[in-house]
């Protein structure tokens, strides 16, 4: 497996990471724990060294799963987790109580994550969403203290806007930004990616396969269980799925020529954008894990990239990424 460095930080990880959320949360009922432990260990065997989780996934159960599965590989893998949601309150849906990045809450969250992940230091700690009620300087200052105490190694933000990125970075240098980025969500290209390049911050795209859509396995006839959060997303209504099929056709055409799959082309496209981009596709199946890892071997030429670019320019993606309440939490 090829390695990549996240920005100027020298944090070296596998060129493709593994998003672990769906193993416990969000995409239907939680999967069988032993099966997921085997999958996580299979990922390590195949060269993946970068694993992504968060306190809110479950809540808590995903960190526990990742901690148990990766315990035998301490020092060989990089585990990223996140803080920033209020997890108390009467509504027990994860994060329903809103955001909380107050310093004392961050410190509490980190103690919990360290225990669940069974580690002495968190390799990469992200603020999950920007909290408008807490100045980002205060958040960065708190993480800086945790770094000085040896509880955290690297600091990251998720779905933050460029002003926030700059302000945080001035207090405690950021190693990575994690935001949604793929052929059907290209918002970061305008301002975010140039800012990351300028400051030497790595980029970790989540949902690099468009929550499964870019694999070509979903169409307007696909129905989602109510425990699958895609059932609430504007971009996953039958009308939007039908309208967005043109992207799949484009990936399919190139995939055939490259003897690859649409998912591999979608990931190879991301890898080709910048050498400091590390996508973290999630999966619960070994064959998909192997397919995603295979994307690293797919070489897109400048002609291929130009062709994707000009075809994609004529495709308008239909539907918002999130319902409005969640959309408001991005880009701040």
Residues with catalytic roles: 57
- Between CA 52 and CA 68 the distance in angstroms is 14
Pairing of strands 78-83, 152-158: unpaired
88, burial (CB in 10 Å: exposed 0-12, middle 13-18, buried 19+): exposed
CA 9, 10, 14: angle at the middle one, nearest 5? 120
Q: Which helix or strand (DSSP H or E) is residue 252 part of? A: helix 245-258
Q: Is 105 exposed, middle or buried (0-12, 13-18, 19+ CB in 10 A)?
A: buried
For the chain, the C-alpha Rg in angstroms (whole number) is 19
- Rounded Cα distance between 257 and 266, Å, is 14
First to last CA, the chain: 35
What is residue 154's three-state secondary structure?
A: strand
CA torsion 278→282→288→289, rounded to 10°? 60
Cβ-based burial of 201 (10 A; exposed 0-12, middle 13-18, buried ≥19) = buried
């Amino acid at each position: 497996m090829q390695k990549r460095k996240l920005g100027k930080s020298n944090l070296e990880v596998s060129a493709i990471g593994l998003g672990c959320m769906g193993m416990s949360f969000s995409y239907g009922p939680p999967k069988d724990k032993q099966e997921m432990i085997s999958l996580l260990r299979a990922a390590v065997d195949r060269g993946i060294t970068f694993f992504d989780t968060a306190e809110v996934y479950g809540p808590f159960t995903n960190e526990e799963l990742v901690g148990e599965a990766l315990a035998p590989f301490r020092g060989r893998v990089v585990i990223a987790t996140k803080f920033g949601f209020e997890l108390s309150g009467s509504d027990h849906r994860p994060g329903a109580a809103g955001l909380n990045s107050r310093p004392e809450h961050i410190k509490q969250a980190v103690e919990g994550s360290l225990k669940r992940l069974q580690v002495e230091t968190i390799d990469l700690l992200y603020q999950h969403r920007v909290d408008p009620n807490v100045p980002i300087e205060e958040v960065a200052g708190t993480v800086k203290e945790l770094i000085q105490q040896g509880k955290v190694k690297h600091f990251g933000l998720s779905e933050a806007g460029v002003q926030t990125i700059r302000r945080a970075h001035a207090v405690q240098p950021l190693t990575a930004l994690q935001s949604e980025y793929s052929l059907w969500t290209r918002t970061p290209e305008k301002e975010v990616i140039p800012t990351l390049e300028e400051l030497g911050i790595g980029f970790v795209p989540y949902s690099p396969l468009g929550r499964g859509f870019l694999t070509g396995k979903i169409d307007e006839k696909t129905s989602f269980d109510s425990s699958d959060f895609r059932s609430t997303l504007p971009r996953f209504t039958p009308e939007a799925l039908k309208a967005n099929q043109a992207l799949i056709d484009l990936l399919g055409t190139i995939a055939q020529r490259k003897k690859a799959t649409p998912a591999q082309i979608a990931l190879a496209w991301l890898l080709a954008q910048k050498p400091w981009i590390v996508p973290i596709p999630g999966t619960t199946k070994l064959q998909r894990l192997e397919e995603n890892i295979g994307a690293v071997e797919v070489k897109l030429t400048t002609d291929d990239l130009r062709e994707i670019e000009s075809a994609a320019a004529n495709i308008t993606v239909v539907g918002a990424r999130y319902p409005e309440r969640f959309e408001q939490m991005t880009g701040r």
